[in-house]
Amino acid sequence: MLARLDCWRRALGTGLCIAIYAGLSLIASFTLLPLLQLWPGSAAQRQHRVRRVVSGSFRMLLAFVAGLGVGRVEVQGREWLEHAEGKLLIATHPMYLDMVALLALLPQADCVVKGAMLRNPMYRRFVAAAGYISNADPARLAEECVQALQHGRTLVMFPEGTRTEPGQDWHFRRGAAQVAVRSGCQILPVLIYCDPPALFKSKPWHQAPHRSWRLLVKFYPPQALDALGVQPGLPHAVAARRLNRNLENFFKQQLAAHEQPDRRTAAAHHHLARS
């Protein structure tokens, strides 16, 4: 009975976090956001201000989630954040708060958002003002991502495209690999893992897991494309397929090593590529 009550408490806490954040976002979009945009400065400076506010709000949301005992975020490899500039950050995508956690850590990062976010009345004004990249137009998406990296910005992408269900194998789409090949940038891999699974795609938010969740965000050293099996001179399509396969295999190895910590493996430190 106590376990069931605790589960209901965390479900209520989850709903409270969602409702409060959505409500405050809507209010701020008509109050705080206009002030940020009217404050003197260039368009780039206004965008940076908005992104700092978005990142700060995400940090507060995660602190609220932790304070209510719903879940917490644990970061490993934080030292690699200092090397994120100009790199493509490729991350796994198990739960709803993955992007929240990453943007809380990387305030000025670019990210790809669903086109539906630009129609969401709660968030659309902040999404547009922050200049995040929409996937509504696939023809423009890749070009905008490449341009962001060529201008030295950090770009966050989830190659799965959507949240992967617990227990299912990862299947990476080639969009992120194609962006990496076209831009020639280094890749910063990030394993995101939630235990127990929570806020995943097929489960309603009010069905809380049996205990509070822990979201692991683990950064690995940046990797150049040639270390990922992409030799110079390869046709783009071939290079993207090879890179996509190597990244998928790498993350599967890291997840297996994480789930079996007593198993001897050097996977966390080896180069990703095997052609």
For 158-170, what is each residue's pLDDT tens digit? 998 777 777 777 7
pTM score: 0.89
- b (16+ CB within 10 A) / e for 76-99: ebeebeeebebbbbbbbbbbbbbb
Structure-block tokens of residue 247 = 């990244």
Q: How far apart are CA 101 and CA 55, in angstroms?
A: 9
Q: How far apart are CA 190 and CA 219, in angstroms?
A: 5
For 134-164, what is each residue's pLDDT tens digit? 998 887 999 999 999 999 999 999 998 777 7
pLDDT band at residue 217, thresholds of 50, 70 and 90? Answer: very high
For 28-52, what is each residue's pLDDT tens digit? 999 999 999 999 999 999 999 999 9
Q: What is the pLDDT of residue 3?
A: 78
Domain spans of the chain, in order of start: 2-259
CATH code of the domain occupying 2-259: 3.40.1130
For 227-261, what is each residue's pLDDT tens digit? 988 888 889 899 999 999 999 999 988 888 877 75
For 76-133, what is each residue's pLDDT tens digit? 999 999 999 999 999 999 999 999 999 999 999 999 998 889 889 999 999 999 999 9
Using CB atoms within 10 A of its CB, is residue 23 exposed (0-12), middle (13-18) or buried (19+)? exposed
